[in-house]
Amino acid sequence: MTDLNPSMRPHSAEYFGEERDYYWNSDYLDLLAKRLDLASVTSAADIGCGVGHWSALLYPRFASNASIVGIDREQEHIDGFMQRMQGIVWNIAAASTVRADATCLPLPNDSFDLATCQTVLLHLQYPAAALTEMMRITRPGGLVLCAEPNNMIARMPFDSLMDIVPIEQLLRLSELVWRHSLGRARRGRGTEHIGEQLPGLFHELGFEHVQVWLSDKAMPMIPPYTSAAERAAVQAWDRWRIQGTGPFDKGEMRANVLAGGGSEEFFDAAWSDFLTHDREVAEARSSSRLSTAGGVLFYIVAGRVPEKPPIL
Ligand SMILES: C[S@@+](CC[C@H](N)C(=O)[O-])C[C@H]1O[C@@H](n2cnc3c(N)ncnc32)[C@H](O)[C@@H]1O
Q: What is the pLDDT of residues 205-256, one digit of tens each?
A: 999 999 999 999 999 999 999 999 999 999 999 999 999 999 999 999 999 9
Same domain, yes or no, for 140 and 167? Answer: no
Number of Cβ within a 10 Å radius of residue 76: 15
Same domain, yes or no, for 91 and 144? Answer: yes
Same domain, yes or no, for 62 and 201? Answer: yes
Q: What residue type is 185 in one-letter code?
A: A
Burial class for 312, CB neighbours closer than 10 Å (0-12, 13-18, 19+): exposed
Is beta strand 138-150 parallel, antiparallel or unpaired with respect to 95-99? unpaired
Does residue 2 sit within a domain?
Answer: no
Q: What is the pLDDT of residues 2-25, one digit of tens each?
A: 444 433 455 555 567 777 888 999
Domains of the chain: total: 2
Ligand 1: centre distance to CA 251 (Å):
22
Does residue 285 sit within a domain?
Answer: yes
Q: What is the pLDDT of residues 31-80, one digit of tens each?
A: 999 999 999 999 999 999 999 999 999 999 999 999 999 999 999 999 99
Does residue 4 sit within a domain?
Answer: no
Q: What is the DSSP string of 142-209?
A: EEEEEEEEEHHHHHS--STTTTTS-HHHHHHHHHHHHHHHHHHHHTTS--TTHHHHHHHHHHHHT-EE
CATH number of domain containing 93: 3.40.50.150
The beta strands (E) that lie in the chain are given as 43-47, 67-72, 95-99, 112-118, 138-150, 208-214, 297-304
**What gap in Å lies between CA 6 and CA 9, rounded to an integer?**
8
- Residues touching ligand 1 (Cβ under 6 Å) are 3-4, 11, 15, 20, 48-50, 53-54, 72-74, 77, 101-102, 118-120, 123-124
Ligand 1: centre distance to CA 16 (Å):
11
Number of Cβ within a 10 Å radius of residue 206: 12
Is beta strand 297-304 parallel, antiparallel or unpaired with respect to 95-99? unpaired
* Domain span holding position 269: 152-188+221-291
> Looking at ligand 1, which residue's alpha carbon is closest to its atom 27?
50
Query: How distant, in Å, are the alpha carbons of 132, 158, 308, 309 from that of 312?
Result: 20, 56, 12, 9
* Atom of ligand 1 lying closest to residue 4 CA: 19
**What gap in Å lies between CA 118 and CA 100, rounded to an integer?**
16
> Looking at ligand 1, which residue's alpha carbon is closest to its atom 9?
53
Q: What is the pLDDT of residues 131-174, one digit of tens each?
A: 999 999 999 999 999 999 999 988 888 888 888 889 999 999 99
Ligand 1: centre distance to CA 289 (Å):
36
- Name the pTM for this structure: 0.93
Same domain, yes or no, for 37 and 181? Answer: no
Are 239 and 17 in contact, with CB atoms under 8 Å apart?
yes
**What gap in Å lies between CA 134 and CA 127, rounded to an integer?**
11
Q: What is the pLDDT of residues 78-120, one digit of tens each?
A: 999 999 999 999 999 999 999 999 999 999 999 999 999 999 9
Beta pairing partners, 98: 71
Same domain, yes or no, for 248 and 265? Answer: yes
Does residue 5 sit within a domain?
Answer: no
